Amino acid sequence: MPPVSPAGWLRVMVRGLVLLVLLGAGLVVLGGVRLPERLIVGPRRPVSPQVVRGVSRAALAIIGIGYRKTGQPLRGAGAMVANHSSWLDIFALNAGGRVCFVAKAEVAGWPGIGWLARAAGTVFIARDSRQARAHVAIFRARLAVGDRLLFFPEGTSTDGQRVLPFKTTLFEALLDPALRDGLQLQPVSVVWRAPAGADARFYGWWGDMGFGPHLLAMLAAPRHGTVTVVYHAPLSVAAHPGRKQLAAAAEAAVRAGMTARV
């Protein structure tokens, strides 16, 4: 990361402060909404996802990232899969509508990110094929209350310029007889465009990159690019004989969206 200029530090302070106030206010509002939701409708969440959506769109605007989407998010309960480039994907995907992220268990313990993930209703699981039965139970419970589960099958984040082969473990849970009939899976491509003149990998967060330096770079940048979230046609889970076929179909759609670079 290049040295931050005095003007860059000013942007860090202004953007960082406004972003901190936004996230803090969002958590307060979210906490205030969740209680009556639980009392009136139980585990269903008719209002709180809209708070998360509004905060996410505002966060992208504060940082300076342009946002747009193509296609329509899945209606009702179901599942989504997307490519994963950065922690910024969370804001981009939440900005499009109600989603319930499925993340590896260790994310819950990450400073800052884990706290926000918990507040947004993220489901934390052990990505282990031996936990398949537990995954089915969790997915069934969340789908029953209208959640749209979203996970990143690559298993890690990338430089934003490619799609890694999809890991198939979580797809197995979707094919369980208790879930597959009538269940839809929507592939989603998250396409990041770097600011003019910047490295094409500008938004990528991968390898041993630290969260702090990447956040600092985003806040200090004099200009930003855009993110486009592409919602592809949903796939019928029951139409695929196994997890490998389902994962391959989803991966092909996500990869096509990235190749198009809309």
Would you kindly state where each structural domain of the chain is located, as residue ranges?
Answer: 6-260
pLDDT in tens, the chain (262 residues): 678 999 999 999 999 999 999 999 998 998 888 888 888 887 777 888 899 999 999 999 999 999 999 999 998 779 999 999 999 999 999 999 889 898 887 777 776 677 777 777 788 887 666 766 777 888 888 888 888 999 999 989 999 999 999 999 889 889 988 888 889 999 999 999 999 999 999 999 998 898 899 999 999 999 999 999 999 999 999 999 999 999 999 999 999 999 865 5
Sign of CA dihedral 195, 85, 97, 36: negative
Query: pTM, whole model, 2 decimals?
Result: 0.91
**Residue given tokens 């990143």 in the structure block:** 152
Q: Which CATH number is 6-260 given?
A: 3.40.1130
Q: Are 205 and 46 in contact (CB under 8 A)?
A: no
- The CA distance from 205 to 71, in Å, is 26
